[in-house]
A and B are shown apart, each in its own frame.
Chain A
Amino acid sequence: AQSVTQPDIHITVSEGASLELRCNYSYGATPYLFWYVQSPGQGLQLLLKYFSGDTLVQGIKGFEAEFKRSQSSFNLRKPSVHWSDAAEYFCAVGPYNTDKLIFGTGTRLQVFP
């Protein structure tokens, strides 16, 4: 069965520090992968997506993610975190040719000044 694991429930970083949020997936074929961000009490906003091609994808707000098939990972990175990046981040996988996304349990990011 397809699944997504986000091993870190809560991460705290200082403003200006680099960030990496981990995401591992379990899927038998080529996955389609997404990262979403959610501010408190809000809906989810798409940060970036990977369908095929270049394994390093760029998203909005200065985020990027790298697809590594050998590690079944799709980690999200940002070189310098801003206080406004504090939010919850969800990784999701979209199995081929279905309309259903499978979400991880989320990582809550806290940013200290």
Chain B
Amino acid sequence: DGGITQSPKYLFRKEGQNVTLSCEQNLNHDAMYWYRQDPGQGLRLIYYSQIVNDFQKGDIAEGYSVSREKKESFPLTVTSAQKNPTAFYLCASSIRQGAVTEAFFGQGTRLTVV
């Protein structure tokens, strides 16, 4: 089945540690995204990538890093510089239908700092 796979579903991190969230898609989509979701704040864009080996900062990129070495993969690293990393993280990919983007989402990773 085609889709977006995020792993792990739950992740615990000690303060001061870096942690990497995995996102893989087999939809052959060019664009991929990372969003952070906090209660009452909707989805905020962290990073996005429109093609391999290229990515752009979103609205809240500080304390995060990404790579896009393969079309299928877009891992997100939450660094120790991120002051409040506990949140639900969603990965998405998109395809253009004409000039419009329709996004497909993974099931999310819940990160908790302990």
Q: Which residues of A contact B (CB under 8 A)?
A: 9, 32, 34, 36, 41-46, 49, 51, 90, 94, 96-101, 103-106
Contact = CB atoms under 8 A, between A and B. Distances in A.
A88 B98 CA distance: 29
Given A43-B106, A46-B102, A51-B100, A100 B45 contact: yes
27 contacts: A32-B100, A32-B101, A41-B88, A41-B110, A43-B90, A44-B43, A44-B90, A45-B105, A46-B103, A49-B100, A49-B102, A51-B97, A51-B100, A90-B43, A94-B100, A94-B101, A94-B102, A97-B99, A99-B31, A99-B48, A99-B50, A99-B94, A100-B45, A100-B101, A105-B40, A105-B41, A105-B42
Contacts, number: 64
B99 A41 contact: no
- B interface bracket (residues with beta carbon within 8 Å of A): 20 to 34
Interface string B19-46: 0000000000001010100001111010
Q: Which 4 A-B pairs have the closest CB atoms?
A: A43-B105, A105-B42, A44-B105, A103-B43
Contacts of A90: 42-43
B107 interface: yes
Interface in B57-92: 58, 88, 90, 92
A98 B43 CA distance: 17
